[in-house]
Amino acid sequence: MKLIQSALLLAALGVSSLCPFASADGRNPGSLLIFPEYDHGPGKDTLLTVTNTSPDGGVRVHFYYVGGVPGNLCDRSNRTETLTPSDTLTLLTSAHSGQPPTGNKYKGYVYCYAENAAGAPISFNFLVGDMIVVDGNTALQYAINPLVYKAKPPTSQPTDVDADGVRDLNDIEYEGSPDRVFIPRFMGQGSDHQSELILLSLTGGASFTNVVNFLMFNDNEEVFSAQHTFSCWKKVPLSTISAMFGNTFLHNSTTDAVSEIVGATNYESGWIIIDGNVAYSTARQFADPAIVAVLVEKAGAAPNNTGAELPWFTGKQFNGDLLPTGINGDSN
């Protein structure tokens, strides 16, 4: 625990140089926040913050912890907290989620939303947040801001318009999700660089499998394609998705720009477009599902050379939901 507490202090002092995770129309307060990752396995924890920026109104916030590994994939535990005007809440997910830090079971993502005293979701576009993932064993830490959704109804009005108990990201209850994700740089994968990609599905729900399209551009405008399949949430090495992300492939099998990376020509780099292809269950499918992706990079052998890469977004999708469980997804 002392290791974790020390790492949390270092992280709080040192993460300001890391890029935040922002919504497509800017970093503005909203009524629903999606934190792309939490992890509180042995020696690990996640510091999560939600702040009420309203100087006048208090609100209840409902948290859902969504499991991201086999055995509890898309299972949820939940908690509610009350924020008074201008209040902020910071917590360790290991203490707040109700999940003991056993093995690698307890990781995934978190979403939370504003609700009234009776427990009904409401419009309250004053919430902002932040999270830091910490490994107390190796002093790894990186920060990721949440994806923020504004509610569409007026302040304090109910958001569950179709009364189905599901948070609809359809521009009626809450604004839509990003259509495509741009990752402006990845390093060629090898012994010096091992990146992991967080993938999070926002269409279909717990019973759906997602096929994701990747376009990878090298540093000389050549493009290569790949696909990857996942359900609910996944953190996967880039090298597992495709060998095309490897430094050896980029150097030997593409017409790369020999003068780049400028100042470090022995390393290759590129950029990525990520787009949902289809989400399907045994009963239904959705074309072009909403996908969130966040790149986490580690460079070299030093244990603390880790940072979260900022994705950029284009377009909007209105077929997202949090979080249907059946094979038909959102039936409304």
* Domain boundary residue, one of 175, 205, 230: 175
Does residue 316 lie within any of the structural domains?
yes
187 with 166, same domain: the answer is no
Q: What angle do CA 104, 106, 108 make, to 5 degrees?
A: 110
pLDDT at 27: 79
Does residue 63 lie within any of the structural domains?
yes
31 with 144, same domain: the answer is yes
Count other Cβ atoms within 10 Å, centred on residue 34.
27
* Domain boundary residue, one of 149, 175, 201: 175
Give the CA distances from residue 56 to residues 59, 83, 84, 162, 281, in Å, rounded to whole numbers and listed in that order. 10, 11, 9, 29, 45
Tell me: the pLDDT tens digits for 185-216? Answer: 999 999 888 899 999 999 999 999 999 999 99
* Domain boundary residue, one of 160, 175, 190: 175
227 with 79, same domain: the answer is no
121 with 154, same domain: the answer is yes
pLDDT at 189: 93
128 with 191, same domain: the answer is no
pTM listed for this prediction? 0.89
Does residue 329 lie within any of the structural domains?
no
pLDDT at 332: 72
pLDDT at 70: 82
Within the chain, which residues score under 50 in pLDDT? Answer: 1-25, 101-103
* Tokens, residue 276: 């949902």
* Structural domain of 89: 1-175
131 with 185, same domain: the answer is no
184 with 165, same domain: the answer is no
Q: What is the largest CA-CA distance in the chain?
A: 62
Number of domains within the chain:
2
209 with 319, same domain: the answer is yes
pLDDT at 17: 37
pLDDT at 293: 95
Output the domain CATH number for residue 123. 2.60.290.11
155 with 23, same domain: the answer is yes
pLDDT at 3: 46
185 with 166, same domain: the answer is no
- Please, which residues have CB within 8 angstroms of residue 138's CB and are 6 or more apart in sequence? 303, 304
Q: How far apart, in whole angstroms, are the C-alpha atoms of residue 233 and residue 66? A: 9
Q: How far apart, in whole angstroms, are the C-alpha atoms of residue 141 and residue 145? A: 14
